[in-house]
A and B are shown apart, each in its own frame.
Chain A
Amino acid sequence: MWYLCVFYHRLLDYRRPEVESLAQLFATEEINCETSSLVEWRLPENHHIDSPFHFVSLPSQHIARKIANRSLLVKGIYELWGQGTDYEELEKAIKEYPEDRKLPYLTEDSTFKIVVDSFGKVISSEEQNERIRGLTYIPFKGRVNLKKPDHKFWLMETDDYGSSNGLPPVVQKTIFFGREVGAANRSLLPTYQLKSRKYLGPTAMDAEMAFLMANQGHAGPGKLVYDPFVGTGSILVAAAHFGAMTMGADIDIRVVRDGQGPNCNVWTNFEQYNLPEPVGLLRADNNLPPWRPGLKEMFDAIICDPPYGVRAGGRKSGGRKLLKGAVGPYTVPDTKREGHIPSTAPYSLAECVHDLLDLSAKMLVMGGRLVYFYPVSREDGVMNSVKYPEHPCFKLISSCEQILSSRYSRHLLTMVKVGVYTKEMEEVAREKHREFKENHAKWLEEGNLHSAVFESNEGSKLDRDSKPKYRGKYV
């Protein structure tokens, strides 16, 4: 069935993938169906893809409501009763809309409310009331309830939302009238905002983004979600909010074990929101994981933000000197073993991503999701099409760009495990691991994102006017 989907005008690349991910989640739960034609999209005539207005086809009203209510970016999904370029056209369209689709929501014993909304312009409350009075041709029999109505109807008017939001202008005025099926619960954001989080770190994930990641990863009751770079647990908090069991690891023991004291650490972050704490937190190196041989297919989702060396450098075990090959491994004298803190070495992006894919291929259940951020230098993004990491076990479902600066953006990649992890793949990964170790210095140089971002930039190839302005606003 087709619906009108109105998005919030932010994180533009993330909007449709969120709806598609949630559609897949709820469709699998209910009708055990997994088809690529689950969701279809169309745009209203003359509208640009970045417009807030989209038409979407979804399997059922029940699923449409669940999607909207769990999303963060859907302002509302509406059953469209009519649309027009002026109020006469709208009236005609609504009158022609089938009675059996309208009457059940206009009954005497129900309560309702009509909201007048506009995009790209302001409608005064007087004008709003006038618009509502103009709808008397619709036989509303119920009572008005402004606080908690059974049914909410929206009258949306948009002339030219374009110029004030930096979008290409739309020539024609459009008016939509629809019955609300579901809407995002944005009140989650003030509740979980980082501003009031007890234990924070420099790379704690923003609450809205953490929820989006949890939605891409299908976090939910009965599932086990893992974050191999857990830090302060910000991503796991979002997964736990949706009912998932969580587990996390980090190589930095101070962040994961000590925090800032007994009342301010990862555990208390969950306590703060009355969420079940992670079932396991450990200090481990993703490069040399502590899993027992033969352990596999444990996690339903792996959701993380790997350290790619811009705001936090990645580390792995080994110690600098050893990896440079100059000196034999440092052997800790027995008297000093207890309480010895092993030194670690820098972890290049290429190796970090390789290890993440290998870990995920082995440890995800079939159909499980890997959701992670991948940094892209905008120069490369503009000059050539981006080449994302690949692995024979995975199919890439979506990539969503978030521009962070003129130099680089991060892309949220969602991958689904479609192939079994074989002995051959394990061998190949081991070989690659050896190769990384032997060419340690070379990999650090090539993958050096930090300097690409922070060095002074003379003769930048990036043409600043190449993309429309609103994208430059990092929406």
Chain B
Amino acid sequence: MRLLTHNMLSCNIKGVTNGFPLKLEADKWVTKEVDLNADFLRGIFPKIEWSALLAAARALGFAELPEQADASMLSSDDFLRRFHHALLELHVEEGALVCPETGRKFPINKGIPNMLLHEDEV
């Protein structure tokens, strides 16, 4: 699971109001090289919740993202590379996503998070 996906997910158990961002617990993660596409990064940047990305990247040991980010930084190649690396090249293979409100764990196995809710959470 890459951090782009993590940035989109929340815990939607019935009644939960504060399910985002999910805390990232990674047992096994790798770096997988992905071709950088500046147009794609510039297009997706406005949709990203920066603080969630920052926290998740830190959980994986990548501390090179700026605390705050705004669109003007997208003209910098250096920023684009770091953004690209955090968003698309860090890949969690095993671990879990934890709901900040209920503590419910959504497992990640073989790179795929299981977001299906149990019968009583629906």
The closest CB in chain A to the CB of B6 belongs to A280
The closest CB in chain A to the CB of B4 belongs to A279
B10 near A292: Cβ-Cβ < 8 Å: yes
Known: A224-B40, A293-B20. A298 touches B116 (CB 8 A): no
Q: Which residues of B contact A337 (CB under 8 A)?
A: 118
A288 on the interface (CB 8 Å rule)? yes
A281 near B112: Cβ-Cβ < 8 Å: yes
Q: Which residues of A contact B21 (CB under 8 A)?
A: 292
Q: Which residues of B contact A291 (CB under 8 A)?
A: 8-10, 12
The closest CB in chain B to the CB of A265 belongs to B110
Known: A221-B37, A222-B39, A276-B34. A285 touches B110 (CB 8 A): no
A258 near B10: Cβ-Cβ < 8 Å: no
Q: Which residues of B contact A289 (CB under 8 A)?
A: 12
A284 near B112: Cβ-Cβ < 8 Å: no
Shortest Cβ gap from A78 to chain B (Å): 34
A256 on the interface (CB 8 Å rule)? yes
Interface string of B88-110 (1 = CB under 8 A from A): 10000000000000000000011
B5 near A282: Cβ-Cβ < 8 Å: yes
Q: Which residues of A contact B40 (CB under 8 A)?
A: 221-224, 245
By size class, the interface of chain A is 35 or more
Given the complex of chains A and B, what is the CA–CA distance between A340 and B114 in angstroms?
A: 11
A139 on the interface (CB 8 Å rule)? no
B12 near A290: Cβ-Cβ < 8 Å: yes
By size class, the interface of chain B is 35 or more
B122 on the interface (CB 8 Å rule)? yes
Given the complex of chains A and B, what is the CA–CA distance between A6 and B10 in angstroms?
A: 50
The closest CB in chain B to the CB of A365 belongs to B43
Interface string of A251-288 (1 = CB under 8 A from B): 10100111000000101000000001101111111001
B122 near A329: Cβ-Cβ < 8 Å: yes
B120 on the interface (CB 8 Å rule)? yes
Given the complex of chains A and B, what is the CA–CA distance between A277 and B5 in angstroms?
A: 14
The closest CB in chain B to the CB of A245 belongs to B40
Q: Which residues of A contact B113 (CB under 8 A)?
A: 282-283
A281 near B111: Cβ-Cβ < 8 Å: yes
Among B4, B19, B114, B118, which residue has its beta carbon within 8 angstroms of that of A280?
Answer: B4
Q: Which residues of A contact B32 (CB under 8 A)?
A: 277
**Interface residues, chain B, CB within 8 Å of chain A?**
1-2, 4-5, 8-12, 19-21, 32, 34-35, 37, 39-40, 43-44, 47, 49, 88, 109-120, 122
Q: What are 20 A-B contacts with C-beta separation under 8 Å?
A: A222-B37, A224-B44, A276-B35, A279-B2, A279-B4, A281-B111, A281-B112, A282-B113, A285-B115, A291-B8, A292-B19, A292-B21, A298-B47, A317-B117, A317-B119, A318-B122, A322-B122, A330-B120, A331-B120, A342-B119
Give 10 closest A-B pairs by Cβ, nearest first. Answer: A280-B5, A292-B10, A290-B115, A222-B39, A292-B20, A319-B119, A329-B120, A257-B112, A330-B119, A283-B114
Given A222-B40, A258-B110, A279-B88, list of 9 further CB < 8 A pairs? A224-B40, A253-B112, A253-B116, A280-B2, A285-B117, A290-B12, A292-B10, A340-B118, A342-B116
